[in-house]
Chains A and B, each alone.
Chain A
Amino acid sequence: MSSVNKENVKKSKDKKALGRMFIFPVCVLVIYGILFTIDPHKSLMALKASGNILLTIVLPLVFVFVIMLVLNLFVKPAQIVRLFGKGVRIKGIVLSVVAGIISMGPIYAWYPLLKSLREEGAGTGPIAIFLYSRAVKPFLLPVMIAYFGWTYVVILTALTVFAAIAIGCFMSVLMKE
């Protein structure tokens, strides 16, 4: 395939992905439309309730953007891959956890990279640790704290890291490495 064709295919995929993002909110709007014809008063109350939810997380969302910006400024995908551990030893574990935590974007964007890392000899343990550690989202912490409080977030984050390491060890044993 020529490079021009590849770019066209990529653009087409991007457009499709963009279209898919709007399916859900449009469906919700359609439901609103239907309910508005049945019970306009309650539908307006629902919209107001949604507005109130948005108001409560506007400030955390601003922090989300700021943290995203900082990560994008100082963390590059190539650096994340460099962090990736190649064995279930202390250094490999720590680096895989860090790589998982600072990685951003949808998981499916990382699959091709994980596949090639696997083919280059990366163990299943570090890959499993990386995937689980993605549950810790530094840029979303402001929203999480706004809803659940500091104590909960700190405890869940610590246990998530612990669980990531446990999963890595389980996977290494079960995949017979």
Chain B
Amino acid sequence: MKIAISSEGTDLKAQVGHRFGISPYLIIADLGTGNFEAVPNPGSLGQQGTGVQTIVLAISKDVKVALTGYCSPAARRHLEANGIEIFTGLTGTAGEILESYKKGKIQKAKAATIEREPGKRVVNKAIFIHAMKRSGNQFTSMLPIFLGVVMLIGLLNTFVSRDFLAALFSGNPVSDTFLGAFFGSILAGNAINSYVIGGELLQYGISLFTVTALIITWVTVGLVQLPAEIAALGRRFALLRNGICFLLSIPIAIITVVIVNLVTR
């Protein structure tokens, strides 16, 4: 069985890491062979999303038990949901903690979040409340911009004439689709906004080709996020991917609308 100990250093003399997600190293000890290895903790960078990487690392190393000073409730839930038992409140060196664990001296912290029965998964109250909070946060975080978009559309409905908007588009499916793809590429945000904008554009008589291209590129092409994508995945990857996605959005939009028209005829 493998055990992960959050650690400040690379050997068993190092002090246990104060926090599981952001300690510099994880010492992975194999109780069966007695071997251990120190793995740099991706979470130590402290960037957004890196806490998840620590959990992923533990899972990928087939760890069954995690020993640390402190672990956030969210990380604890993820670890336990993936079958990793976690013990917190530990101090001393990694070697001392490992010995204590071997001797059965470490008591499990009381924070069971998921109870498992063979072949059955039970969601308890704590997990449900956590999911409600998370969903609430996700939902409310998209609301301000969504409401702004709805209010903006209200303005457009009232102040901008259909003729003016129609004049922006030539009526040619290819060029209008291209224009829709262009707008979708430069606009960003939750996809729900593209549906609302697209739906209202249809009311203005803008073609479904244009609206479909806008919806596709809204999510798949991101000029606003391009610097972040370049930083994460490289310039060549980001430019190629965004370029191909943009070009592909036009035939996909045209094919979609053609099939829809054939089916609904």
Contact = CB atoms under 8 A, between A and B. Distances in A.
Interface of A: 1, 3, 6, 9-10, 13, 21-22, 24-25, 27-29, 31-32, 35, 42-43, 45-51, 53-54, 57, 64-65, 68-69, 72-74, 76-79, 81-82, 104-105, 107-116, 118, 124, 127-128, 131-132, 134-135, 137, 140, 143-144, 147-148, 151-152, 155-156, 159-160, 163, 166-167, 170-171, 174-175
Given A3-B18, A13-B48, A57 B138 contact: no
A112 B44 CA distance: 12
A46 B236 contact: no
Contacts of A24: 144-145, 148-149
B256 A116 contact: no
A105 B155 contact: no
Given A76-B82, A156-B216, 17 more contacts: A24-B144, A25-B151, A35-B155, A49-B158, A50-B150, A54-B150, A68-B139, A112-B45, A112-B47, A124-B233, A127-B237, A147-B196, A152-B256, A152-B260, A156-B256, A159-B252, A174-B240
Interface centre among B42, B45, B50, B158 (most CB of A within 10 A): B158
Lowest 10 CB-CB distances: which A-B pairs, in order? Answer: A50-B154, A25-B148, A147-B199, A111-B232, A46-B158, A6-B46, A49-B154, A72-B131, A135-B219, A115-B232
B241 A171 contact: yes
Main DSSP-derived SS at the B contact region: helix
A107 B219 CA distance: 9
B128 A73 contact: yes
A121 to B, nearest CB: 11
B234 to A, nearest CB: 8
B49 A109 contact: yes
Contact of B245 (A13, A32, A108, A132): A132
Contacts of B216: 135, 156, 160, 163
A78 B56 contact: yes
Contacts of A10: 46, 48
B91 interface: no
B18 to A, nearest CB: 6
5 contacts: A28-B155, A42-B158, A116-B42, A167-B248, A175-B240
A118 B151 contact: no
B96 to A, nearest CB: 21
A144 B260 CA distance: 15
Contact of B228 (A31, A64, A108): A108
Contacts of B145: 21, 24-25
B59 interface: yes
Given A76-B81, A155-B260, A175 B237 contact: yes
A167 B132 CA distance: 35
B151 A28 contact: yes
